[in-house]
């Protein structure tokens, strides 16, 4: 009986699982993306990462408006923790995120040309990675003076106000900035599927450019806005054509380098401005790495001497060092010179758009025109309302005795307003205004002043209506405000411009000391460079257990090396990149020294000299590829090249040859052939598959390849072939390699 009772329950459970499985299978992946992922993506784009036309992200705007609402534009500083707490009414992302936003906007952080927060205390530095800002309970802040330009006439209906996240208060959707802050303040954001990176420009130059653009939409922007301006200073390597392209498209990059001075007395270099995109710690770490690797021997010491007077990195030079040549090398090898990638992606009416500088100014002008128009309309309505009240008052003042009589003879308080409306033919609003007049104001002087106010208001209303009907007058107001901002808050450029001709003159080629050396390469990839003097004094070469010498050769310190690996890659380096070694040392492990990929090992090391020879690759499938050495010649001193040879078949041998030679190819079935490299045609494509040299039987492959003189073959004519491909001949016992190895015993 118990068994019969449990069976229906089990069946019902199975049915439920099957129904759930069917429901899951029926759900379309596109519906999931549309319903779940798309709202998240749009929220990040619109409400978090991409700035709008006023130059602010929502987090910036919420913080600044909260501070404005707290009266911190005129009041003294208050604790940052207090500001953070108040901002949480608008920003639900937590106190840490809010305070980080404040830090970046603060004067003490130096991240902006014109900071919006007047700070007191430690707010860190934009140019330091490790200088942490103090907690919000220790620092104080208020709005900086320039914020008056952000909130000017915000109470005059210049922008829309929307509900906050819980609907308990209102916040502005945009701030009515009187200048193009979107171009003045640096801004960076990463959204879903898109990003924004806007460099800051000089405030005065932006205002003058906006004025020029309003007056002449076809004006040359570079005349008034030559280049960006960063709060950390530095020097822009200036190319007008490159900058014009960035201005046109809103995309591109340019180089910024540090500023330095040479102090002759102490034989040192002081770096006092660095690129906006790097930090002092990153520079110091990279220079330290170069010094450890022996690539920069001219530096005795480098330290951070940043203090209250500003940033300063000091480099102590060794005697006889040319500071210009050293700095030219450091610029190339460290972030003392860095690129700034531009991506002027801005939200326009809720839609992200990548725009050039001209388009941004055009959009800002259109938006600012709307703000001014709304402000004028707001003022017009206020004055019309006031005029309406004064017109009602004028009717009353013509017969004040009648007004007093009506009020005195009215028995009920609620009937005063209706009786005044009937007695003088005025509306309710006018009647209420009249009824509130104090008894002491019923005199001749008060009456005359109110009549004069009426005349003034009528003239002002006429002027405001004239402004509303004229686009030219509205633009004149914008131009006037831009001039006022430029005069009041404008300052000189911090980032200077350096033209290409100056750059080439200041960056001489690096001089590499040249002297004879002997290089040793082991089979496992250890490299040693030994001078003749050290070699004469040395004993037996030391190798790792199980390792042995692959080859050695006399070259010079300036000689270049091509290191081929088993991952179809070649690394280009120089002997000068390695320290002079001794026979008693193992040497440098090439995979580690050259930064090879994990598991990558060395197959061959080639000294290309003048790149006049060729590389010969013999593959397991019997093919051989002759690639001209010129295909590996590059302008950089050290560079990794992918596709160094074909990956269609495993590689069995690599030869770097300056002239044609004869090679012996052995197959796994015991056959051998001898051919000349002159029989192969040279290719300039590095990853060419080559041509067939040895015809192989099924399941047979090439076993090894040796230079003829190292093969031990006596009867060469038996194996030599005139045309390729060829099958070769069976290897006789007297020609086997093992025979010629007997002399080592």
User: Would 669 be classed as within a structural domain?
Assistant: yes
pLDDT band, very low/low/confident/very high, at 2 (cuts 50, 70, 90): very low
User: Would 623 be classed as within a structural domain?
Assistant: yes
As a whole number, the mean pLDDT across the chain is: 87
| Residue listed under structure tokens 């131009």 | 479
Neighbours of 28 (CB within 10 A): 9
Dihedral sign computed on CA atoms, order 298, 303, 304, 307: negative
Dihedral sign computed on CA atoms, order 120, 125, 131, 133: positive
Among 569, 588, 606, where does a domain finish?
A: 606
pLDDT band, very low/low/confident/very high, at 330 (cuts 50, 70, 90): very high
Neighbours of 365 (CB within 10 A): 17
> Could you tell me if 426 and 395 are in contact, meaning their C-beta atoms sit under 8 angstroms apart?
yes
Higher pLDDT, 555 or 449: 555
Which distant-in-sequence residues (6+ apart) come within 8 Å of 213 by Cβ? Answer: 219, 221, 358, 361, 362, 365
Residues 135 and 97 grouped into a single domain: yes
Residues 671 and 613 grouped into a single domain: yes
Q: Which helix (H) or strand (E) holds 51?
A: none
User: Would 152 be classed as within a structural domain?
Assistant: yes
Residues 35 and 79 grouped into a single domain: no
pLDDT above 80 (res 665): yes
pLDDT above 50 (res 739): no
Phi, psi of 261, rounded to the nearest 5 degrees: -140, 145
Dihedral sign computed on CA atoms, order 14, 19, 20, 24: positive
Higher pLDDT, 118 or 390: 118
Residues 391 and 309 grouped into a single domain: no
pLDDT band, very low/low/confident/very high, at 502 (cuts 50, 70, 90): low
> pLDDT tens-digit profile of 275-323?
999 999 999 999 998 888 878 888 999 999 998 888 999 999 988 888 9
Residues 612 and 728 grouped into a single domain: yes
Which distant-in-sequence residues (6+ apart) come within 8 Å of 558 by Cβ? Answer: 512, 514, 574, 575, 576
**Nearest residue to 525 (alpha-carbon basis) of 608, 586, 609:** 586
Phi, psi of 115, rounded to the nearest 5 degrees: -65, 150
Range of the domain at 55: 50-165
Phi, psi of 125, rounded to the nearest 5 degrees: -140, 140
Q: How far is CA 694 from CA 481, 511, 671, 673, in A?
A: 84, 48, 10, 8
- DSSP 8-state secondary structure symbol assigned to residue 234: -
Dihedral sign computed on CA atoms, order 435, 436, 437, 438: positive
* CATH code at position 322: 3.30.1360.40
pLDDT band, very low/low/confident/very high, at 500 (cuts 50, 70, 90): low
Residues 468 and 529 grouped into a single domain: no
Q: Which helix (H) or strand (E) holds 195?
A: strand 195-198
* CATH code at position 444: 1.10.268.10
pLDDT above 60 (res 618): yes
Mean of pLDDT values over 720-735: 86
pLDDT score at 255: 93
Residues 462 and 580 grouped into a single domain: no
Say whether 254 sits in a helix, a strand or coil: strand
**Nearest residue to 483 (alpha-carbon basis) of 155, 149, 154:** 149
Which distant-in-sequence residues (6+ apart) come within 8 Å of 127 by Cβ? Answer: 110, 232, 274, 278, 279, 280, 311
Residues 538 and 595 grouped into a single domain: yes
Which residues make beta-bridge pairs with 619? 651
**Nearest residue to 716 (alpha-carbon basis) of 655, 664, 660, 659:** 664
d(CA 680, CA 662): 12
pLDDT above 50 (res 267): yes
User: Would 612 be classed as within a structural domain?
Assistant: yes
Among 116, 131, 165, where does a domain finish?
A: 165
- Which structure tokens are listed for 204? 């005065």
* CA-only gyration radius of the chain, Å: 41
pLDDT above 50 (res 7): no
Q: From its phi and psi, is residue 379 left (phi > 0), alpha (psi between -120 and 50) or beta? A: alpha
The residue ranges of DSSP E strands in 620-701, in sequence order, are 623-628, 639-642, 651-657, 662-667, 671-676, 691-692
pLDDT score at 10: 46
CA atoms within 13 A on the CB side of 293: 16
d(CA 737, CA 16): 76
Percent of the chain exceeding pLDDT 70 equals 92
Mean of pLDDT values over 446-454: 79
pLDDT above 60 (res 35): yes
**Nearest residue to 561 (alpha-carbon basis) of 550, 577, 541, 582:** 577
Which distant-in-sequence residues (6+ apart) come within 8 Å of 612 by Cβ? Answer: 629, 630, 658
pLDDT score at 579: 85
pLDDT score at 23: 54
pTM beyond 0.85, yes or no: no
Domain count, the chain: 6
User: Would 27 be classed as within a structural domain?
Assistant: yes
d(CA 382, CA 126): 46
pLDDT score at 506: 46
Helices (H) and strands (E) in the chain, counts: 24, 33
Which distant-in-sequence residues (6+ apart) come within 8 Å of 497 by Cβ? Answer: 226, 227, 235, 236, 238
pLDDT score at 740: 36
pLDDT above 60 (res 638): no
> pLDDT tens-digit profile of 115-130?
999 999 999 999 999 9
> Could you tell me if 143 and 73 are in contact, meaning their C-beta atoms sit under 8 angstroms apart?
yes
d(CA 740, CA 713): 8
Among 310, 335, 360, where does a domain finish?
A: 335
Residues 36 and 116 grouped into a single domain: no
User: Would 199 be classed as within a structural domain?
Assistant: no
* CATH code at position 140: 3.90.199.10
What is the full DSSP assignment across 528-576?
A: EEE-HHHHHH--SPP--TT--EEEEEEEETT-EEEEEETTSEEEEEEGG
Could you say which of 37, 138, 165, 515 is catalytic?
Answer: 138
pLDDT band, very low/low/confident/very high, at 742 (cuts 50, 70, 90): very low
d(CA 651, CA 391): 101
User: Would 392 be classed as within a structural domain?
Assistant: yes
Residues 469 and 516 grouped into a single domain: no
* CATH code at position 690: 2.120.10.90
Helices 80-87 and 95-105, axial angle in degrees (round to 10): 120
**Nearest residue to 301 (alpha-carbon basis) of 267, 275, 324, 277:** 267
pLDDT score at 11: 53
Mean of pLDDT values over 463-475: 94
pLDDT above 70 (res 446): yes
Residues 14 and 80 grouped into a single domain: no
Residues 8 and 34 grouped into a single domain: yes
Lowest mean pLDDT among 81-85, 234-238, 255-259, 386-390: 386-390
| Whether 99 is catalytic | no
User: Would 500 be classed as within a structural domain?
Assistant: no
> pLDDT tens-digit profile of 525-580?
899 888 888 888 877 888 888 888 888 888 888 888 888 988 888 888 888 888 88
């Amino acid at each position: 009986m118990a068994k019969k009772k449990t069976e229906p329950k089990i069946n019902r459970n199975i049915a439920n699982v099957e129904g759930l499985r069917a429901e899951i299978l029926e759900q379309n992946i596109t519906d999931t993306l549309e319903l779940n992922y798309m709202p998240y993506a749009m929220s990040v784009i619109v409400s978090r990462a991409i700035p709008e036309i006023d130059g602010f992200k929502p987090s910036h705007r919420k913080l600044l408006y909260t501070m404005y609402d707290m009266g911190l534009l005129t009041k003294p500083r208050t604790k940052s923790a207090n500001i953070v707490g108040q901002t949480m009414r608008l920003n639900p992302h937590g106190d840490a995120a809010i305070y980080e936003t404040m830090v970046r906007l603060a004067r003490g952080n130096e991240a902006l040309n014109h900071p919006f927060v007047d700070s007191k205390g430690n707010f860190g530095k934009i140019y330091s990675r490790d200088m942490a800002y103090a907690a919000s309970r220790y620092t104080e802040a208020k709005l900086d003076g320039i914020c008056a330009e952000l909130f000017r006439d915000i109470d005059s209906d210049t922008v829309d106000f929307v509900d906050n996240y819980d609907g308990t208060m209102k916040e502005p959707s945009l701030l009515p900035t009187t200048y193009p802050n979107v171009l003045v303040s640096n801004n960076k954001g990463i959204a879903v599927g898109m990003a924004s990176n806007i460099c800051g420009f000089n405030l005065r130059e932006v205002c003058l450019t906006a004025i020029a653009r309003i007056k002449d939409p076809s004006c040359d922007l570079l005349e008034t806005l030559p280049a960006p301006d960063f709060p950390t200073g530095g020097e822009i390597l200036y190319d007008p054509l490159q900058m014009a392209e960035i201005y046109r498209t809103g995309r591109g990059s340019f180089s910024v380098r540090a500023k330095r001075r040479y102090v002759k007395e102490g034989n040192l270099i002081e770096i006092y401005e660095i690129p906006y995109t790097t930090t002092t710690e990153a520079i110091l770490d990279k220079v330290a790495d170069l010094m450890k690797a022996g690539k920069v021997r001219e530096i005795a010491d480098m330290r951070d001497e940043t203090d209250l007077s500003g940033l300063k990195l000091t480099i102590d030079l060794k005697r006889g060092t040319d500071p210009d040549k050293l700095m030219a090398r450091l610029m190339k090898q460290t972030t003392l010179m860095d690129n700034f990638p531009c991506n002027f992606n801005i939200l326009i009416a809720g839609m992200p758009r990548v725009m050039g500088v001209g388009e941004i100014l055009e959009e800002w002008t259109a938006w600012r025109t709307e703000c001014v128009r709304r402000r004028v309309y707001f003022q017009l309505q206020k004055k019309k309302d006031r005029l309406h009240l004064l017109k009602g008052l004028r009717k009353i003042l013509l017969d004040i005795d009648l007004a007093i009589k009506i009020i005195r003879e009215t028995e009920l308080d609620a009937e005063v307003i209706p009786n005044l409306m009937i007695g003088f033919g005025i509306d309710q609003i006018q009647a209420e205004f009249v009824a509130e007049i104090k008894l002491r104001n019923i005199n001749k002087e008060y009456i005359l002043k109110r009549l004069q106010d009426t005349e003034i208001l009528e003239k002002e209303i006429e002027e405001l209506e004239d402004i509303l009907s004229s686009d030219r007058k509205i633009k004149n107001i914008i131009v006037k405000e831009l001039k006022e901002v430029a005069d009041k808050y404008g300052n000189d450029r911090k980032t200077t411009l350096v033209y290409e001709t100056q750059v080439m003159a200041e960056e001489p080629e690096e001089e590499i000391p040249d002297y004879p050396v002997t290089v040793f390469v082991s089979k496992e990839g250890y490299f040693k460079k030994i001078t003749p003097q050290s070699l004469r004094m040395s004993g037996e070469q030391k190798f790792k257990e199980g390792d042995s010498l692959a080859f050695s050769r006399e070259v010079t310190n300036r000689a270049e090396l091509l290191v081929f690996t088993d991952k179809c890659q070649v690394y280009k380096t120089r002997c000068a990149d390695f320290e002079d070694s001794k026979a008693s040392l193992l040497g440098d492990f090439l995979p580690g020294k050259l930064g090879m990929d994990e598991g990558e090992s060395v197959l061959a090391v080639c000294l290309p000299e003048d790149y006049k020879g060729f590389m010969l690759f013999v593959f397991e499938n019997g093919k051989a590829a002759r690639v001209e050495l010129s295909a590996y010649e590059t302008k950089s001193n050290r560079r990794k090249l992918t596709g160094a040879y074909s990956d269609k078949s495993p590689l069995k041998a690599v030869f770097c040859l300056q002239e044609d030679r004869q090679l012996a190819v052995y197959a796994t079935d015991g056959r051998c052939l001898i051919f000349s490299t002159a029989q192969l045609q040279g290719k300039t494509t590095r990853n060419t598959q080559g041509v067939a040299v040895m015809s192989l039987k099924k399941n047979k492959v090439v076993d090894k390849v040796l230079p003829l003189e190292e093969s031990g073959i006596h009867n060469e004519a038996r194996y030599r072939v005139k045309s390729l491909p060829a099958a070769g001949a069976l290897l006789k016992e007297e020609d086997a390699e093992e025979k010629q190895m007997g002399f080592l015993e």
